[in-house]
Amino acid sequence: MRPIVVVILTALTAVSAAATEKSVSIKQATGLDKVEANCGSCHSLDYLVMNSPFLSSTGWDAEVAKMINVFGAPVDQDDAKIIADYLKKNYGT
């Protein structure tokens, strides 16, 4: 009986913690659909907002290239350019 109580309490704690998380608002602009489809399939789009104070236009180009060349993100070159342009225009320093 005791293990069941522990499992239930753990589940309730996890649900409670998730309920207090605030969602990050992503800027609506041209290219967002490519960002959501390509970037959001592997990681949270919260990274856009978190990294925006640190990345210049050159930094976003490098970040997109890293995701493709180092981490193997399956993004074609046309989409990569659209994604980089979106990031630079909306989240560049």
What is the token pair recorded at 9? 């309490």
28: domain range? 24-91
What is residue 84's predicted lDDT score, i.e. its pLDDT? 96
Query: 1 pLDDT band (50/70/90 cuts)?
Result: low
Residue 35 lies in a domain: yes
The answer to whether position 28 is within a domain reads yes
> Half-sphere exposure of 66 toward its Cβ, with a 13 Å CA cutoff?
6
Residue at 13 is within a domain: no
pLDDT digits (tens, 9 = 90+) for 19-35: 566 677 889 999 999 99
CATH of the domain at 35: 1.10.760.10
- Up-side HSE of residue 79: CA atoms within 13 Å toward CB? 14
pTM: 0.73
For residues 73 and 38, the answer to whether their CB atoms sit within 8 Å is yes
Amino acid letter for position 90: N
pLDDT tens figures, 45-66: 998 888 888 889 999 999 999 9
- Tally Cβ neighbours within 10 Å of residue 26: 17
How many structural domains comprise the chain? 1
